[in-house]
Amino acid sequence: VELVSAGIVGASGMLGGELLRVLSVHPVLRSECIVAGARAGESIVAVHPHLRDVLHGSFERHDASAIAERCRVAFVALPAEEAATTVPALLDAGVEVVFDLSPAYRLKDAELHDRWYPDARRDPDLAAAAVYGLPELNRKAIAEARLVAMPGCSATAALLALGVLTKLDVPLDAVVIDAKSGSSGSGGALRTSALHSLRGGGVAPYAMTSHRHVPEIRQACGEFGLHPAGAEVRLGMSVFSVDLVRGLSAAVYVLSDGAPRSEDVRRGLHRRYRAEPFIRVQPAQGTTTPLPDPKAVIGSNFCDIGGGVDADGGRIVVVAALDNVAKGGATQAVQACNAWLGIAETTGLLSTPIWP
Amino acid sequence: VELVSAGIVGASGMLGGELLRVLSVHPVLRSECIVAGARAGESIVAVHPHLRDVLHGSFERHDASAIAERCRVAFVALPAEEAATTVPALLDAGVEVVFDLSPAYRLKDAELHDRWYPDARRDPDLAAAAVYGLPELNRKAIAEARLVAMPGCSATAALLALGVLTKLDVPLDAVVIDAKSGSSGSGGALRTSALHSLRGGGVAPYAMTSHRHVPEIRQACGEFGLHPAGAEVRLGMSVFSVDLVRGLSAAVYVLSDGAPRSEDVRRGLHRRYRAEPFIRVQPAQGTTTPLPDPKAVIGSNFCDIGGGVDADGGRIVVVAALDNVAKGGATQAVQACNAWLGIAETTGLLSTPIWP
Amino acid sequence: VELVSAGIVGASGMLGGELLRVLSVHPVLRSECIVAGARAGESIVAVHPHLRDVLHGSFERHDASAIAERCRVAFVALPAEEAATTVPALLDAGVEVVFDLSPAYRLKDAELHDRWYPDARRDPDLAAAAVYGLPELNRKAIAEARLVAMPGCSATAALLALGVLTKLDVPLDAVVIDAKSGSSGSGGALRTSALHSLRGGGVAPYAMTSHRHVPEIRQACGEFGLHPAGAEVRLGMSVFSVDLVRGLSAAVYVLSDGAPRSEDVRRGLHRRYRAEPFIRVQPAQGTTTPLPDPKAVIGSNFCDIGGGVDADGGRIVVVAALDNVAKGGATQAVQACNAWLGIAETTGLLSTPIWP
Amino acid sequence: VELVSAGIVGASGMLGGELLRVLSVHPVLRSECIVAGARAGESIVAVHPHLRDVLHGSFERHDASAIAERCRVAFVALPAEEAATTVPALLDAGVEVVFDLSPAYRLKDAELHDRWYPDARRDPDLAAAAVYGLPELNRKAIAEARLVAMPGCSATAALLALGVLTKLDVPLDAVVIDAKSGSSGSGGALRTSALHSLRGGGVAPYAMTSHRHVPEIRQACGEFGLHPAGAEVRLGMSVFSVDLVRGLSAAVYVLSDGAPRSEDVRRGLHRRYRAEPFIRVQPAQGTTTPLPDPKAVIGSNFCDIGGGVDADGGRIVVVAALDNVAKGGATQAVQACNAWLGIAETTGLLSTPIWP
pLDDT at D187: 76
- Residues of A with a catalytic annotation lie at 153
Q: Phi and psi dihedrals of D74, rounded to 5? A: -135, 140
Which amino acid, one-letter code, is at D75?
F
Q: Residue B89: in which H helix or E strand, if any? A: helix B80-93
Nearest-CB residue to D205 (from C204, C292, C298): C292
B197/A245 touch (CB, cutoff 8 Å), yes or no: no
Q: For B92-148, what is each residue's pLDDT tens digit?
A: 999 999 999 999 999 999 999 999 999 999 999 999 999 999 999 999 999 999 999
pLDDT at D236: 95
| Residues whose CB falls within 8 Å of the CB of residue A312, separated by 6 or more in sequence, listed in order | B210, B214, B234, B235, B236
C53 burial (CB, 10 Å; 0-12 / 13-18 / 19+) is: middle
Mutate to test the interface with C, among D310, D312, D317, D319 (most CBs of C within 10 A): D310
Assign B288 a pLDDT band (cuts: 50, 70, 90): very low
- A interface with D, Cβ–Cβ < 8 A, is 14, 17-18, 21, 24-25, 42-43, 45-46, 48-54, 184, 201, 245-246, 277, 280, 282, 287-290, 293, 296-300, 302, 304, 350-356
Residue of D nearest to B325 (CA): D197
Which amino acid, one-letter code, is at B93?
A
- Max mean pLDDT among A226-230, A287-291, B51-55, D310-314 falls in B51-55
Closest-CA distance of chain A to residue B325, Å: 15
Mutate to test the interface with B, among D47, D50, D195, D295 (most CBs of B within 10 A): D195
pLDDT at B218: 94
D352/A48 touch (CB, cutoff 8 Å), yes or no: no
Average per-residue pLDDT in chain B? 94
Assign A172 a pLDDT band (cuts: 50, 70, 90): confident
Assign B31 a pLDDT band (cuts: 50, 70, 90): very high
pLDDT at C288 over 50: no
Q: Phi and psi dihedrals of D114, rounded to 5? A: -65, -30
pLDDT at D292: 95
C351/B287 touch (CB, cutoff 8 Å), yes or no: no
pLDDT at B232 over 80: no
pLDDT at C174: 92
Instruction: Indicate the DSSP class of residue B105.
Output: T
Assign B220 a pLDDT band (cuts: 50, 70, 90): very high
pLDDT at B287: 45
Assign C290 a pLDDT band (cuts: 50, 70, 90): low
Nearest-CB residue to B203 (from A180, A238, A312): A180
pLDDT at B32: 98
Assign B169 a pLDDT band (cuts: 50, 70, 90): confident
| Residues whose CB falls within 8 Å of the CB of residue A215, separated by 6 or more in sequence, listed in order | A107, A109, A112, A116
Closest-CA distance of chain C to residue D176, Å: 8
pLDDT at D342 over 90: yes
Q: For D194-229, what is each residue's pLDDT tens digit?
A: 999 999 999 999 989 989 999 999 999 999 988 755
Assign D186 a pLDDT band (cuts: 50, 70, 90): confident
Mutate to test the interface with B, among C18, C349, C355 (most CBs of B within 10 A): C355
Average per-residue pLDDT in chain A? 94
Touching D (3+ Cβ pairs <8 A), the chains are A, B, C
Rounded to whole angstroms, how far apart are CA atoms C344 and D155?
A: 49
Rounded to whole angstroms, how far apart are CA atoms D333 and D31?
A: 14
Residues of A in contact with C191 (CB under 8 A): 190
From the list C153, C221, C303, C337, the catalytic residue is C153
pLDDT at C169: 85
Q: For C293-312, what is each residue's pLDDT tens digit?
A: 999 999 999 999 999 999 98
What share of chain A in percent tops pLDDT 90? 88
| Stretch C94-98: mean pLDDT | 98
pLDDT at B196 over 80: yes
Closest-CA distance of chain C to residue A39, Å: 14
D83 C-beta neighbours (distance < 10 Å), count: 26
Touching A (3+ Cβ pairs <8 A), the chains are B, C, D
DSSP D241-305: EES-SS-EEEEEEEE-TT---HHHHHHHHHHHHTT-TTEEE---TTSSS----GGGGTTSS-EEE
Residues of D in contact with B248 (CB under 8 A): none
pLDDT at D1: 74
pLDDT at A100 over 60: yes
Q: Which of C118, C23, C128 is nearest to C73 (CA)?
A: C23
Assign B291 a pLDDT band (cuts: 50, 70, 90): confident
Rounded to whole angstroms, how far apart are CA atoms B27 and C27?
A: 14
Q: Residue C270: in which H helix or E strand, if any? A: helix C262-273
Q: For C36-54, what is each residue's pLDDT tens digit?
A: 999 999 999 999 999 999 9
Residues of C in contact with D174 (CB under 8 A): 173-174, 255, 313-315
Nearest-CB residue to B53 (from C24, C54, C280): C280
pLDDT at C287 over 50: no
From the list D33, D153, D221, D303, the catalytic residue is D153
B48/C24 touch (CB, cutoff 8 Å), yes or no: no
pLDDT at A229: 53
Q: For C2-13, what is each residue's pLDDT tens digit?
A: 999 999 999 999
Three-state secondary structure of chain A: CCCEEEEEECCCCHHHHHHHHHHCCCCCEEEEEEECCCCCCCEHHHHCHHHCCCCCCECECCCHHHHHHHCCEEEECCCHHHHHHHHHHHHHHCCCEEEECCCCCCCCCHHHHHHHCCCCCCCHHHHHHCEECCHHHHHHHHHCCCEEECCCHHHHHHHHHHHHHHHCCCCCCEEEEEEEECHHHHCCCCCHHHEHHHHCCCEEEEECCCCCCHHHHHHHHHHCCCCCCCCCCEEEEEEEEECCCCCEEEEEEEECCCCCCHHHHHHHHHHHHCCCCCEEECCCCCCCCCCCCHHHHCCCCCEEEEEEEECCCCEEEEEEEECCCCCCCHHHHHHHHHHHHCCCCCCCCCCCCCCC
- A interface with C, Cβ–Cβ < 8 A, is 14, 182-184, 186-188, 190-192, 194-201, 243-245
> Which residues partner with B322 through β-bridges?
B248, B303
B219 burial (CB, 10 Å; 0-12 / 13-18 / 19+) is: middle
A245/C194 touch (CB, cutoff 8 Å), yes or no: no
Instruction: Indicate the DSSP class of residue C99.
Output: E
Residue of B nearest to C14 (CA): B356
Instruction: Kindly report the pTM of this predicted structure.
Output: 0.97
From the list B71, B153, B221, B303, the catalytic residue is B153
CB D320 within 8 A of CB D157: yes
Q: Which of C289, C290, C292 is nearest to C323 (CA)?
A: C292
Q: For A181-214, what is each residue's pLDDT tens digit?
A: 999 988 788 999 999 999 999 999 998 998 999 9
Nearest-CB residue to C355 (from B17, B46, B282): B17
Residues of A in contact with D53 (CB under 8 A): 277, 280, 302
Closest-CA distance of chain C to residue D130, Å: 26
Please give the interface size between A and C, counted as residue pairs whose CB atoms are below 8 Å apart.
62
DSSP B166-228: GG------EEEEEEEE-GGGGTT---GGGBHHHHTT-EEEEESS--TTHHHHHHHHHHTTSS-
pLDDT at D285 over 70: no
pLDDT at C233: 81
| Stretch A132-147: mean pLDDT | 98
Q: Which of C71, C70, C46, C72 is nearest to C58 (CA)?
A: C46
pLDDT at D290: 59
pLDDT at B285 over 60: no
pLDDT at C262 over 70: yes
Instruction: Indicate the DSSP class of residue D56.
Output: -
pLDDT at C329: 98
pLDDT at C23: 98
**Position with higher pLDDT, C284 vs B342:** B342
Assign D230 a pLDDT band (cuts: 50, 70, 90): low
D118 burial (CB, 10 Å; 0-12 / 13-18 / 19+) is: exposed
Q: Cα-atom radius of gyration of chain D, to the nearest Å? A: 20
D297/A50 touch (CB, cutoff 8 Å), yes or no: yes
Assign D172 a pLDDT band (cuts: 50, 70, 90): confident
Nearest-CB residue to D200 (from B14, B183, B187): B183
Strands A73-76 and A97-100: parallel
D188/B198 touch (CB, cutoff 8 Å), yes or no: yes
Q: For B292-306, what is each residue's pLDDT tens digit?
A: 999 999 999 999 999
Closest-CA distance of chain B to residue D189, Å: 8
| Residues whose CB falls within 8 Å of the CB of residue B69, separated by 6 or more in sequence, listed in order | B94
pLDDT at D288: 46
pLDDT at B273: 98
pLDDT at C228: 59
Assign D284 a pLDDT band (cuts: 50, 70, 90): low
| Stretch C320-332: mean pLDDT | 98
pLDDT at C294: 98
pLDDT at C257: 80
| Stretch B76-101: mean pLDDT | 98
Task: Bin D276: left if φ > 0, else alpha if -120 < ψ < 50, else beta.
Answer: beta
What share of chain D in percent tops pLDDT 90? 88
Q: Which of B329, B334, B354, B356 is nearest to B344 (CA)?
A: B334
| Helix (H/G/I), strand (E/B), else coil: C185 | helix
Rounded to whole angstroms, how far apart are CA atoms C334 and D74?
A: 62
| Residues whose CB falls within 8 Å of the CB of residue B16, separated by 6 or more in sequence, listed in order | B8, B10, B36, B77
| Stretch D156-180: mean pLDDT | 93
What share of chain C in percent tops pLDDT 90? 88
